Amino acid sequence: MINFKCEFDSRILNTRVPVEVYLPYEVNLMKDVKDYKENFTFQPFKTVYLLHGAWDGGSQWVENTSALRLAQKAGFALVIPSVGNSFYANGKDGMRWEDFILEELMGFVRGIFPLSDKKEDNYVCGVSMGGYGALKAVFKRPEIFSKCAIMSPVVDIAWSSRVIRKIGVNTDQTLGKWKEQKGSEYDLVKILEDAEGTFDQFADILVLIGNLDYMVENNRSFHNYLEEKKVAHTYVEYEGMHDWQFWDEHLKECMDFFAE
């Protein structure tokens, strides 16, 4: 993989932001450096956007999983942003992370790197908070991604906002007080209700979670709700917890899902 770690000035966020981009490439024997010009002529790549969870950053995907090896094998480019504990949302503090990811970031990486802008070539994979961000994108902007694979996703934002206070993540200034989040613009149920009539346009959705995950009951309930609403998706439980070990063990299943 060719590794690009860069920063650019975000007009939406009014600050410099980091992003990691990886392009699939295998080094071939070349006679001289002039051969690079021929070797680096790429067609637009199918692209996977990897969304990290709360308390983490984008680099955790590379440090804790086999994402690079799997993407290289599949021929996928990877785009890995870092968004802090923003929940990929347009927060009440004025930081428009959702708009940044789905508009500015995607425009930037497609302008600089050879990435496809076709829906059928774009996929999103998220863990925990990143799973919430991925689902929110699929429900609100169905024209962007054709497949969505999420592991241990946050599906009840109010419940999760209350629980993650224990690790020092306070969403009061960004999403509002947790008691006010149920039924708000950040509630996936409310977002899905607002999307009524567009369900057939959603990306194919794969949900994976461990049976010992502290959010498994929330996910079971949300899975049942999606079935009631007739939102097509696949839900699978395995042995495991809410950690990078589980996510790394099942990342190949996500990549195979994208490659199907």
Q: Per-residue pLDDT for the chain (260 aa), expressed as one digit of tens each?
A: 999 999 999 999 999 999 999 999 876 666 666 666 666 767 899 999 999 999 899 999 999 999 999 999 999 999 999 999 999 999 999 999 999 999 999 999 999 999 999 999 999 999 999 999 999 999 999 999 999 999 999 999 999 999 998 888 889 989 999 989 999 999 999 999 999 999 999 999 999 999 999 999 999 999 999 999 999 999 999 999 999 999 999 999 999 999 99
Q: What's the whole-model pTM score?
A: 0.94
Looking at the DSSP bridge assignments, the partners of residue 18 are 7
Q: Which amino acid makes up residue 5?
A: K
Q: How far apart are CA 131 and CA 140, in angstroms?
A: 14
H runs (alpha helix) in 124-187: 129-140, 157-163, 178-181
Of 25, 46, 209, 182, give the one whose Cα is nearest residue 119: 46
For residue 177, CA distances in Å to 11, 158, 165, 192, 193 come to 28, 8, 11, 21, 22
